Amino acid sequence: MYKYDENDRRIVLERAAQFKSQVERRLTGALKEEEFRPLRLQNGLYLQLHAYMLRVAVPYGLMSSTQMRMLSHIASKYDRGYGHMTTRQNIQFNWPKLDDVPSILDDLASVEMHAIQTSGNCIRNISADQFAGVIADEVVDPRPYAEIMRQWSTFHPEFAYLPRKFKFAFTGATTDRAAVQFHDIGFHALKNDAGEVGFKIYVGGGMGRTPMIGKVVSEFVPEKDLLLYTEAIMRVYNQFGRRDNKYKARIKILVHEMKLEEFTRRVEDEFTALLEEGGLPLDQAEIDRVAAYFVDPAYEDLPEKSASLDQNLADNRDFSFWYRQNVLTHKKTGYAIVNLSLKKPGVPPGDLTDVQMLAIADLADKYSFGEIRSTHEQNLVLADVRKDDLFDLWGALNASGFADPNIGTLQDMICCPGLDFCTLANARSIPIADKITSRFDDMDYLYDLGELKLKMSGCINACGHHHVGHIGILGVNKKGTELYQITLGGSAGDDASVGKIMGPGFDEDGIVPALEKILATYIDLREDGEEFLATYRRVGMTPFKETLYANH
């Protein structure tokens, strides 16, 4: 993974010092809360229902074991012994004290980490395909470009006070696992017919109260123009994005209101002007320099088949289920990609304890070149595991609590923190997630259901991505009662779609029976081998609605 040079190191230390002075000015009253708020937000520090919450950046989801151990240290020293993986591949701590935050930043800086731009109306920490560099269907490894973009967007002087938050995502594979069509800007790295690297760029995707699928502003921006073209988009947005109404301030609204053709014309004009005034293309030497940090680790030459793996798969049913569900094919023969599930009854989706963090760091060192990845679906990944080691790793993951064989199933739900933590939320989501994962814990049934993306948000801001769940759940507050609205048919993948609301919501006791009915309807209607989303797209909403609201 990327290693800091002297500049990178200095900038996080200087940021820690700057934020320390901002905290001091807040504590002495020299800064008013409304002045401090945007400053702390640009450093990922929220004021939540019960306490401050600090969101630590995990650029494009990559962490070292050393960094994971530091996160464990922070969880135990400054928090209540746990952290929470977010849908932007970051980690957040729910209970730090304001006076401790400067010390936390110093600790983070010591392992090349920070909380820069994890919130606020700026370019947020960048997310990417969690399998970048190791998955077989990859065309271009997006990580060097994500890193170049991380540096470019860090303290970008022109774009630190945008109309609203701004999110980038990168993928370079044939299958989009980074939901690039639901970002303010989605970068899809690809190669043209001549074999040159460039980017298909989507703008104006997003969820929230007005979910929209990103629109293509350019089919192919050559890699040398990546930064200048992005600057052009940002400048058009900075100038024309609405500032009168925060709900209409996202670039998706601008693109929608201005129309894609006009927006694109302005971006192209701005891009041309930037070139004319001497805007520099990105140097190939710099691309190569950064790419050198992302070359393959020292893989061994291994045979495709692992005799011990095959034997263990034949001998151990539980292991074979885990292998089928949580392990993916690696581009390199003899290796495998392992998903660590952070989903199970009794644990908020995405949470892990300080002790578990240490265990994962050790496993990463032992089995996966000391590297850990986080996913936008709130899980972790060990990306480079020898097939011969899978059985041992599985045993260790069982012991530390990450071997639930439920990746891609209904149990693997995305869930926001909801009313238990969040000031914005209208309804609880963690206890509902627990009800659901506890009720649907029969693995045979879950496997029979097949791939099913369930996503839940505790309010319209959609941090839990409910709009793109095959089944989405949105918590709302109606006259003091928490109700849960169901949407069907969303997808964050290549076939991006926004789910449709079924009808009236259900209370806490009604939501699980409602899911039961929807799933039973699916099982009745599905054709051989047909996944939930395909069935829904074939038959539409009506049959689901009829069974769900039969007695209403």
Among residues 5, 304, 509, 527, the one that binds another protein under rule CB under 8 A: 5
Residue number with CB closer to another protein (273 or 314):
273
Q: Which stretch binds another protein (CB under 8 A): 15-23, 64-72, 85-93, 521-529?
A: 15-23
88 phi, psi to nearest 5 deg: -105, 25
Q: Which stretch binds another protein (CB under 8 A): 211-219, 259-267, 274-282, 464-472?
A: 274-282
Q: Which residues pair with 386 in a beta bridge?
A: 335
Task: Determine which helix (DSSP H) or strand (DSSP E) holds 134, and give its type and residue range.
Answer: none
Kindly state the smallest distance separating residue 20's Cβ from another protein, in Å.
11
Other CB atoms within 10 Å distance of the CB of residue 285: 8
Residue number with CB closer to another protein (155 or 299):
155
Q: Which stretch binds another protein (CB under 8 A): 283-291, 367-375, 406-414, 513-521?
A: 283-291
Q: Which stretch binds another protein (CB under 8 A): 12-20, 303-311, 492-500, 522-530?
A: 12-20
Rounded CA separation 518/522 (Å): 6
454 phi, psi to nearest 5 deg: -110, 130
Rounded CA separation 452/211 (Å): 20
Edge-to-edge strand list for the sheet holding 82-85: 45-47, 52-56, 91-93, 82-85, 351-353
Among residues 174, 175, 192, 239, the one that binds another protein under rule CB under 8 A: 239
Kindly state the smallest distance separating residue 153's Cβ from another protein, in Å.
8
DSSP state of 223: G
Q: Does 22 bind another protein (CB under 8 A)?
A: yes
Kindly state the smallest distance separating residue 280's Cβ from another protein, in Å.
6
Write the burial class of residue 314 (CB in 10 Å: 0-12 exposed, 13-18 middle, 19+ buried).
Answer: exposed
Kindly state the smallest distance separating residue 105's Cβ from another protein, in Å.
14
Q: Does 7 bind another protein (CB under 8 A)?
A: yes
Interactions with another protein, residue window 289-308 (CB under 8 A): 289
Residue number with CB closer to another protein (17 or 302):
17
- The residue assigned the tokens 């991006």 is 496
Task: Reduce the secondary structure of 404-453 to three states and give it as a string.
Answer: CCCCCCCCCCEECCHHHCCCCCCCCCHHHHHHHHHHCCCHHHHHHHCCCC
Residue number with CB closer to another protein (118 or 154):
154
Interactions with another protein, residue window 153-212 (CB under 8 A): 154-163
DSSP-derived secondary structure for 49-61:
SSSEEEEEP-GGG
Among residues 52, 78, 152, 220, the one that binds another protein under rule CB under 8 A: 152
Kindly state the smallest distance separating residue 294's Cβ from another protein, in Å.
16
Residue number with CB closer to another protein (152 or 369):
152
Residue number with CB closer to another protein (262 or 495):
262
Residue number with CB closer to another protein (8 or 420):
8
Among residues 11, 216, 275, 460, the one that binds another protein under rule CB under 8 A: 11
Q: Does 476 bind another protein (CB under 8 A)?
A: no
Residue number with CB closer to another protein (234 or 358):
234
**Pair 523, 547: CB distance under 8 Å:** no
- Both tokens of 114, joined, read 């920070």
Interactions with another protein, residue window 83-122 (CB under 8 A): 121
For residue 433, the one-letter residue type is A
- Both tokens of 459, joined, read 């309010």
Q: Does 273 bind another protein (CB under 8 A)?
A: yes
Q: Which stretch binds another protein (CB under 8 A): 282-290, 322-330, 407-415, 455-463?
A: 282-290
Rounded CA separation 494/190 (Å): 14
CA distances from 304 to 336, 367, 391, 519 (A): 10, 18, 16, 38
- The residue assigned the tokens 């190791």 is 134
Candidates 290, 5, 285; CA nearest to 141 is 290
Kindly state the smallest distance separating residue 287's Cβ from another protein, in Å.
10
Other CB atoms within 10 Å distance of the CB of residue 241: 21
Q: From residue 514 to residue 543, what is the string marking binding to another protein with x (rule CB under 8 A)?
A: ------------------------------
Rounded CA separation 549/157 (Å): 54
Kindly state the smallest distance separating residue 236's Cβ from another protein, in Å.
10
CA torsion sign for 503, 509, 511, 517 is negative
Residue number with CB closer to another protein (18 or 461):
18
Kindly state the smallest distance separating residue 393's Cβ from another protein, in Å.
38
- Would you call 105 helix, strand, or coil by DSSP? helix
Among residues 136, 196, 269, 280, the one that binds another protein under rule CB under 8 A: 280
CA torsion sign for 379, 383, 387, 392 is negative
Candidates 438, 407, 391; CA nearest to 340 is 407
Kindly state the smallest distance separating residue 360's Cβ from another protein, in Å.
31
Residue numbers at the binding site for another protein (CB under 8 A): 5, 7-8, 10-11, 14-15, 17-18, 22, 30, 35, 38-39, 121, 151-152, 154-163, 227, 235, 238-239, 243, 273, 277-278, 280, 283, 285-286, 289
